[in-house]
Structure 1
Amino acid sequence: MSQFVVRGGHKLSGTIVPQGAKNEALQIISAVLLTAEPVTITNIPDILDVNLLIELLQEMGVKVQRPERDTCIFQADDVDVDYLHSPAFHKKSGRLRGSVMLAGPMLARFKKAFVPKPGGDKIGRRRLDTHIIGFEKLGATFTYHPEDGFYHLSGDAMQGTYILLDEPSVTGTANIVMAASLTPGTTTIYNAACEPYLQQLCAMINRMGGKISGIGSNLLSIEGVSSLKGTEHRMLPDMIEIGSFIGLAAMTQSNIRIQGCGIPHLGIIPEKFRQLGIQFDIDGDDIVVPEQDSYEIQTYMDGGVLTIYDHPWPGLTPDLLSIMLVVATQARGSVLIHQKMFESRLFFTDKLIDMGAQIILCDPHRAAVIGLGRSQNLRGITMSSPDIRAGVALLIAALSADGKSVIQNIEQIDRGYQNIDGRLQALGAHIVRE
């Protein structure tokens, strides 16, 4: 097990480039199974979750060339479908919730798939219902086999249909879109997720010869085609990293340029950081956060305490709430952080309280933060990273705190952030991996 040793209280400066988007990568890389032709993907983040998915594809027979760490050429022309039912797949895929994204393209092209019970973060229950029900409505059948821990799916009778999702699940929508892309007939998905990463997936499938309309809305129409061809695709910058770096600059009173942010795809994220009082400039496709001594949380027009909550796109992604909570601890003013989607994601606040933050954990979903306004700095402690986003939130807190902090279980951080210690060192951070 590795850990970060951080000595906080140092201002940072310089330029940092966000990695490719993790949440897009898990969808896009799974989609290479839709064709036997080569698919070239660039701006791939070099992180544990993505590399694990690439290893899974290789083990099931997909040819992978990696001329650069951020570039892969995939060719799924000799796929071993039965590998997906092997103990080796069960063991590896159990560590990666993103492995469920293989089910849609496998059903579409090979008419069968195996889905293990989900793994990944310990941030609360993550349902597979949306995926399975969507496949069922397309005509797939499934049974759960407790003896091997797999859902067995068969897609021999799949046909285009109308699907009304009970929740706008991003991964659920993506999986159903991939399954429908090669399914005869027209599939309509209402209450579909419309995140930029899903738009990227749909645009990629269309370049492969697919027929998807309504991209960017919550009403998608997919006309199934008989086959798809190869293509090239470049991933967007990771909006969660971009938000993390904005928060890092504010907490450490640093001047940081975030280069190549894909500004049109960030949605409401910049506005939410402005509500916390953080100033920054948009310079072309870069975000420049200047050094600022203090920042003040906005209130509502009637003087009420601001509430920041997650919501399906174009609302705020839940992955940034942990970052915003940490940033609020050193702001002037108060804010209520409402994490609606995952019931365990705010439990990391106990570490921040130990560091001196003033936080009231109201329940598993809500935390009231009383900003210290820098009247006292956070203090370094030893802590453990419970999940990807909380881990980076704690790292930001440690970089702003007085003294030495130790962050354990950093494998969680490595799952979502590429060479984070090296990139922060380049900005002047005092961080060592042990």
Structure 2
Amino acid sequence: MSSFIIEGGHRLKGEITPQGAKNEALQVICAALLTEEEVIIENVPDILDVNNLIRLLMAMGVEVHKLNKNTWSFKAANINPEYIQTEDFIDKCATLRGSIMIIGPLLARFGRVSVPKPGGDKIGRRRLDTHFNAIQKLGAELVFDEKNQLFCLSADKLKGCYILLDEASVTGTANLLMAAVLTEGETIIYNAACEPYVEQLSKMLVRMGAHIEGIGSNRLTIKGVSRLSGCRHRLLPDMIEIGSFIGMAAMTASDITIKDVSMQNLGIIPESFRRLGIIVEQQGDDLYIPSQENYTIESFIDGSILTISDAPWPGLTPDLLSVMLVVATKAEGCVLIHQKMFESRLFFVDKLIDMGAQIILCDPHRATVIGLGNRFRLRGMTMTSPDIRAGISLLIAAMSAEGKSIIHNIDQIDRGYENIDIRLNQLGAKIERIK
């Protein structure tokens, strides 16, 4: 297990370019399973979750080539159906949350698939009902192998129908969309997630020959085709990393420019940070965050305490609430952070409290942050990263703290952030990686 040693108090200065989007990468790499032809994906981030998924596809028989630093070629012409029943396949799937999205492509192409309960962050209940209920409506049969803890899906023939999702699940929508494009007839998905990454997946599938209407909305109409061709696709910049850099600049009073952010796909993220008092300036397709010694949290118009909560797109992504919570500790004023989706994601606040932050954990979903501005600074300490987003939030806290901090289990951070220590050190941070 690796760790970071962070010397706090260093300001950052310069430009940084966000990596390709992790969540989009997991979707579109799985979509390469839908065709026998070559699929080329650009701007792929070099992170653990993505690399593990690529290794899984290689083990399945997909021909994979790394064309340059962030461009990969996939050709799924000779998938080994026997491997999909092996213990090695099950073990690889069980360690990776993104493996759930191989269900739609493999079922559509081969008529059967078995997967274990996927791994990933321990941030609370992440139910799979949306995935399985929707795909069953297309005609798949689901059997749970209790002995081996496997979900086994099979279908002689999938047939399109009207499907109302019980929640606007991003991965659930992606899985169903990938199954529907090779399903006979018309499929209508209502209450579909409409995040930019689902929109990107939809556009990629259209370039492969799929017929999809309503892209970017919560109602998708898919007319099934018999086969798909290859294509070339480029990932968007990672909105979560962009938000993390905004928070990092605020906490360390740094002066940084985030390059090529794809502003039209950031939604309300910049405005949400502005409500915490952070100056975020758009310069073309870049974001400039000037150095601020202090910032003040807004109140609602009636004078009540600001509440920041997650919501389905175009609402605020839940992946940034941990970062915003940390950023609020240095602000002047109070804010209620309401994490609606995951009941364990706020449990890392005990580490921030030990560092000196004024936070009241109201319940598993809500925390009130009392920002003390420049009247205090967090103090360095030793801690362990529980998940990707809490990990980057603890790193931000450590970078702004007095003295040295140690963060263990940084493999969690590496799952979502490419060479984060190297890139931040180039801007002036003092982060040492140790084994």
Matches for 1:33-44 after TM superposition, within 5 Å: 33-44=33-44
Partner of 1:81: 81
- For 1:218, the aligned partner's letter is N
What corresponds to 1:297 in structure 2?
Answer: 297
The separation in 2 between residues aligned to 1:379 and 1:372, in whole angstroms, is 14
Take 1:300 and 1:306, find their aligned partners in 2: how far apart are those partners?
Answer: 6
Task: Look up the match of 1:114.
Answer: 114
**Counterpart of 1:5 in structure 2: which amino acid?**
I
Range moving further from structure 2, 148-157 or 258-267:
148-157
Task: Specify the alignment match of 1:364 in structure 2.
Answer: 364
Task: Supply the RMSD in Å over aligned alpha carbons.
Answer: 0.6
For residues 408 and 276 of structure 1, what CA distance do their matches in structure 2 show?
A: 29
Once the two structures are superposed, the pairs formed by residues 9-408 of structure 1 within 5 Å of their partners are: 9-408=9-408
Aligned partners of 2:374, 2:106: CA distance in 1, in Å? 53
Q: State the secondary structure of the residue aligned to 2:332.
A: coil
Per-residue deviation at 1:228? Answer: 0.3
Question: 2:31 aligns to what SS in structure 1?
Answer: helix
In structure 2, the residue corresponding to 1:340 is in which secondary structure?
coil
Q: C-alpha displacement at 1:281, in angstroms?
A: 1.1
| Unpaired segments ≥5 residues, structure 2 | none
Tell me the CA shift for residue 199 of structure 1.
0.1
Q: Give CA deviations for 1:326-376 in whole Å, capped at 9, x if unaligned.
A: 000000000000000000000000000000000000000000000011211
Q: How far apart, CA to CA, are the structure 2 residues paired with 1:31 and 1:280?
A: 35
Distance 1:205 1:114 in 2: 24
Deviation at 1:69, TM superposition (A): 2.5
Q: What's the offset of the Cα at 1:68?
A: 1.2
Q: State the 1:10 CA deviation.
A: 1.0
Q: Which amino acid aligns with 1:268?
A: I
Q: Which amino acid aligns with 1:168?
A: A
Give CA-to-partner distance per residue, 1:227-257, whole Å, 9 cap, x none. 0000000000000000000000000000011
Mapped to 2, the partners of 1:321 and 1:97 lie a distance apart of 20
Distance 2:95 2:120 in 1: 6
1:419 aligned partner, one-letter code: N
Other-structure match for 2:422 = 422
Task: Look up the SS of the partner of 2:216 in the other structure.
Answer: coil
CA–CA separation in structure 2 for the residues paired with 1:181 and 1:69: 31
Q: Which runs of 4+ in 1 moved over 4 A?
A: none
Q: Which amino acid aligns with 1:391?
A: G
CA offset digits 1:378-417 (Å, max 9, x no partner): 0000000000000000000000000000000000000000
User: 2:105 & 2:211 partners in 1: Cα distance?
Assistant: 15
Q: List gaps (5 residues or longer) in structure 1.
A: none
CA distance in 1, matches of 2:282, 2:376: 31
- SS where residue 383 of structure 2 aligns? strand
Q: Which residue identity does 1:141 align to in structure 2?
A: E
> TM-score scaled to structure 1, two decimals?
0.99
Tell me how far apart the structure 1 counterparts of residues 310 and 47 of structure 2 sit (CA, whole Å). 25
Distance 2:155 2:82 in 1: 15
Q: Deviations for 1:35-80, whole angstroms, at most 9, x for unmatched residues? A: 0000000000000000000000000000001021210010000001
Rounded to whole Å, the distance in 2 between the matches of 1:25 and 1:85 is 25
Task: Name the SS for the 2:66 alignment partner.
Answer: strand
Aligned length: 434
SS in structure 1 at match of 2:432: strand
**48-57 or 82-91, larger mean C-alpha shift:** 82-91
SS at match of 1:374: helix
